[in-house]
Structure 1
Amino acid sequence: QKIEREIDIKYRQATIKLLSEVTNTKELLLIKDVIEGIEEMSDKCQRVSDSFILLALSL
């Protein structure tokens, strides 16, 4: 959970930096999609980790 929180913080920081530094709309959308994809992957990894913990506790 600690790693996922860190990724969330970095996601917000990257989004703010992106919006303040990138002026080309096409680049902005592309980079935003990449950043969101990384954040979504971390959320999915967290859910998988939670599932493994639940599975291990139920054995």
Structure 2
Amino acid sequence: MLRAAVIFAIIALVLGVLGFGAVAGFAWELAKLLFWFALIIAVALFVLGMTIYKKVK
């Protein structure tokens, strides 16, 4: 998911340089959304991993 966020950020930068502002803005918003989703999932999995690890141990 982070890979997709980076790809959309690069696409947004290229489109912004080429003058396609509306499409670049959409790609940038999608990149930010994917980044935050990936961050939330990573934190949730970290918390679950720490709690399950303590119960198994």
Q: Distance in 2 between matches of 1:10 and 1:38?
A: 7
1:45, 1:38 → 2: CA distance? 11
- 1:15 aligns with 9
Provide the TM-score with structure 2 as the length reference: 0.68
Larger radius of gyration: 2
Does structure 1 retain, via aligned residues, the 8 Å contact 2:8–2:31? yes
Runs of 4+ in 1 over 6 A off after TM superposition: none
Specify the alignment match of 1:39 in structure 2.
35
Query: How many residues are treated as equivalent by the alignment?
Result: 53
**Cα deviation per residue 1:2-51 (whole Å; 9 max; x = unaligned)?**
xxxxx333322321222113523233222211111011101100100011
Q: Which runs of 5+ in 2 are unaligned?
A: none
Aligned-pair identity (%): 4
Which amino acid is 1:8 matched to?
L
